[in-house]
Amino acid sequence: MLSIVPRDLGNRILEAAGQGSQLHAKWGLYVQYVGVATVPENYEERLTEIFPNAFCHLHLFALDSYDLALSKLERNSQRDRDDVKFLAERFLSISRFFRRAISKELRRNLGNPEREDLTLKLWVEAITEVRGAAK
């Protein structure tokens, strides 16, 4: 499971940097609280710092595109599917995505692996379709 901060600290961060905050008003950037996200183990090793050295006391890290896509597998809302299609158009290799998705590191954390297998199959078909349309 992906864990960023304890809930009480998260609430303070949302007040300072959430939607409608001064950060949002000035830079058009805001943070959102994510209750639970399942990502492959060792995702920390693949995090990329964004805006390194831009801030003295703030360090922002982003999931790699595959871990980000796979974090949306269990929820599988329309928004998640749209996000995965966006990532597929720009960043994802189908075979690499599929290999990471069926890895033991992700599967052992899924609540219902059989359901996620079906979701994964549909997503791979959608990614293939997006890739075919882009040619």
Q: How many CB atoms lie within 10 A of CB 90?
A: 10
Sequence spans of domains, the chain: 7-62, 65-134
Name the H helices within 18-134. 22-27, 65-70, 78-90, 94-101, 104-107, 113-134
> 50 forms bridges with which residues in the sheet?
60
| Token pair in block for residue 82 | 């749209």
Q: How many CB atoms lie within 10 A of CB 59?
A: 12
The DSSP H or E segment spanning 21 is none
SS3 string of 87-120? HHHHCCCHHHHHHHHCCHHHHCCCCCHHHHHHHH
For 23-70, the pLDDT digits (tens) are: 899 999 888 876 667 888 888 899 999 899 998 887 888 898 888 888
Note if the pTM is more than 0.75.
no
Q: What is the per-residue pLDDT for 1? A: 41
